[in-house]
Amino acid sequence: MSGASDAAWRLDWISRPAGPLRGTLAVPGDKSVSHRALMLGALAEGDSHIRGFLEGEDTRATAAVFAQLGVSIETPAPGERLVHGVGLHGLRAAGRPLDCGNAGTGMRLLTGLLAGQAFDSTLVGDESLSRRPMRRVTEPLERMGARIDTREGLPPLHLHGGRRLEGIRYESPVASAQVKSALLLAGLYSQGETEVLEPHPTRDYTERMLAAFGWPIDFAPGRARLAGGYTLHATDVQVPADFSSAAFFLVAASLAPGSDLLLRAVGLNPRRTGLLQALRLMGADIEVLDERASGGEPVADLRVRHAPLHGVELPEALVPDMIDEFPALFVAAAAARGTTVIRGAAELRVKESDRIATMAAGLRALGVTVQETPDGAEIAGGTVGSGTVQGHGDHRVAMSFAVAGLVADEGVRVEDCRNVATSFPGFVELANGCGFALAEA
Ligand code: S3P
């Protein structure tokens, strides 16, 4: 685990008032798609070439895990991986713990994928990941026949190999693509059918990608079903730009007067774009241009221009479709005229940080009135003041407060930003290139 080194590597930023934001940006590749492309590529027969791969710490951690499991992965160029698949039963025992770093997606999906192997594995993570709930995956996997030791539901996870898994029909109590994906990946190794039903549809990248790799799967919004016993066939994957990374620029350009930004080839999977709708409800001016398909996913260019935002009662139905975008939305709400009410978002409390608490605390430090509720917050918008806030080692919290600094009266000091590299390497350079004034403190 990396607690001590986290402290040694701490990075702080100062984000000063600036703008307008202008130009054309390509944000890095999608984190969810990059993880899954590595995983299915590794289990496939043949070589899969991934383009647009996210060079983030989370996805690199997953690549390193597969290298430990005996999969050869080449990097022909930055943002590319050539995965030499070993087939469904070709992974080898690692012999030492597999470090998922900060990545909940990596750990939860790997738990499903490794539960049906012939060998034991141990999954560990950093300080933040070691606090995140894993029972949501271990409990249904144990119903399938897996045996997994946890530290009272938290990592490290020790998976016992040589178990015989049976498919189940699972009505998930949480709307979580990670839970669904973990069960589907275990389902590849199970007797009979595995079916997952969700309380609200979540991102369907695992389902789409399994189909692209030739595995028969039946899925629709809110449910997915497959049987074990087939083969994954290598295929090339084009990863779209990550909507969750574009989100910071959608909010920033909406807030900074005079802004006019074009974000290129952003993935617009409908289970990811709740923030687009939320910002439009708040008065944002965002155009979706040149909609097209790329690698089986909808992508488009997004043109965002400054517009005065106003507070809204956020429709609860949007919550699962923007679950990673709430830190950015909190900042938009703080700068908007009037009150924004968020409900039905208790999942935010178990992300890389408790994002309701960390965003509320940071906004209060900037003079914004925020009332926390168990499943959301009420944010009285208007002006954002200056001050020092904590990033809490949470990449999206840190980037959101960098956006706040852009419109704060004298700027914002954001402490503990190192983990931004987990999902958005090059954020500072890209932000400064379009008009931010963001510097290491
Ligand atoms: C992800 C699913 C979401 C999301 C995470 C990535 C995925 O988590 O917050 O950043 O790639 O499946 P949950 O499925 O736990 O909601």
Q: Are residues 354 and 315 in the same domain?
A: yes
Q: Is 206 in the pocket of ligand 1 (CB under 6 A)?
A: no
| pLDDT, tens digit (0-9, with 9 covering 90-100), for 305-331 | 999 999 999 999 999 999 999 999 999
pLDDT at 10 > cutoff 90: no
| Domain identity same for 149 and 267 | no
- 232/255 same-domain check: no
Do 175 and 53 share a structural domain?
yes
Q: Which of 323, 326, 354 to mutate to test the pocket of ligand 1 (most atoms within 8 A of CB)?
A: 323
279 pocket-lining for ligand 1 (C-beta < 6 Å): no
If asked whether residues 234 and 288 sit together in one domain, one would say no
Options 321, 324, 394, 416, the catalytic residue = 324
- Ligand 1, closest atom to CA 347? 16
Whole-model pTM above 0.85? yes
- Which residue puts its alpha carbon closest to atom 4 of ligand 1? 324
CA of 26 to the centre of ligand 1 (A): 22
Shared-domain flag, residues 200 and 253: no
Q: Judge if the beta carbon of residue 177 lies within 6 A of ligand 1.
A: yes
Domain span at 325 = 3-29+240-440
Query: Atom 15, ligand 1: which residue's CA is nearest?
Result: 176
Is 245 found in the same domain as 196? Answer: no
List the residue whose alpha carbon is closest to atom 5 of ligand 1.
105
Give me ligand 1 centre to Cα 15, in Å.
28
CATH number at residue 147: 3.65.10.10
Please check whether residue 416 is in contact with residue 391, taking contact to mean a CB–CB distance below 8 angstroms: yes
- Of 238, 268, 297, the last residue of a domain is 238
Per-residue pLDDT for 44 more than 50? yes
Q: Does the beta carbon of 178 lie inside 6 Å of ligand 1?
A: yes
Q: Ligand 1: does its nearest atom lie under 6 Å from the Cβ of 176?
A: yes
Q: Is 245 in the pocket of ligand 1 (CB under 6 A)?
A: no
Residues 20 and 48 in one domain: no
323 lines ligand 1 (CB under 6 A): yes
* 228 and 305 both lie in a single domain: no
Specify the pLDDT at position 6: 46
Domain end call among 238, 267, 301 = 238
> What value does the mean pLDDT take over residues 30-38?
98
The per-residue pLDDT for 8 is: 55
pLDDT score recorded for residue 109: 98
CA of residue 295 to ligand 1 center, whole Å: 20
Residue 166 alpha carbon to ligand 1 centre in Å: 25
SS3 of the chain: CCHHHHHHCCCCEEEECCCCCEEEECCCECHHHHHHHHHHHHHCEEEEEEECCCCCHHHHHHHHHHHHCCCEEECCCCCEEEEEEECCCCCCCCCCCEECCCCHHHHHHHHHHHHCCCCCEEEECCCCHHHCCCHHHHHHHHHCCCCEEEECCEEEEEECCCCCCECCEEECCCCCHHHHHHHHHHHCCCECEEEEECCCCCCCHHHHHHHHCCCCEEEECCEEEEECCCCCECCCEECCECHHHHHHHHHHHHHCCCCEEEEEEEECCCCCCHHHHHHHHCCCEEEEEEEEEECCEEEEEEEEECCCCECCECCHHHHHHHCCCHHHHHHHHHHCEEEEEECCCHHHHHCCCCHHHHHHHHHHHCCCEEEEECCEEEEEECCCCCEEEECCCCHHHHHHHHHHHHHCCCCEEEECCHHHHHCCCCHHHHHHHHCCEEEEC
Q: Per mean pLDDT, which range of 13-22, 113-122, 294-303 is the poorest?
A: 294-303
Q: What is the number of domains present in the chain?
A: 2
324 lines ligand 1 (CB under 6 A): yes
Q: 7-21, 127-141, 225-239: which has the minimum mean pLDDT?
A: 7-21
Quick one: which of 299, 349, 312, 305 has its CA closest to 327?
Answer: 349
Average pLDDT of the chain, as a whole number: 96
Exposure on the CB side of residue 288, measured as CA atoms within 13 A: 14
Q: Indicate the top mutation candidate among 110, 176, 329 to test ligand 1's pocket, ranked by most ligand atoms within 8 A of CB.
A: 176
Q: Are residues 201 and 119 in the same domain?
A: yes
Pair (333, 350) in one structural domain: yes
CA of 179 to the centre of ligand 1 (A): 9
- Cβ(48) – ligand 1 distance below 6 Å: no
- 256-284 residue pLDDT tens: 999 999 999 999 999 999 999 999 999 99
Residues 159 and 133 in one domain: yes
The model's confidence at residue 21, banded by pLDDT at 50, 70 and 90, is: very high
Domain ends where: 221, 238, 255? 238
Ligand 1 centre distance from Cα of residue 181 (Å): 10
Active site residue 324: yes
Segment 230-255 mean pLDDT? 98
Residue 4 has pLDDT above 50, yes or no: no
pLDDT tens-place string over residues 76-125? 999 999 999 999 999 999 989 999 999 999 999 999 999 999 999 999 99
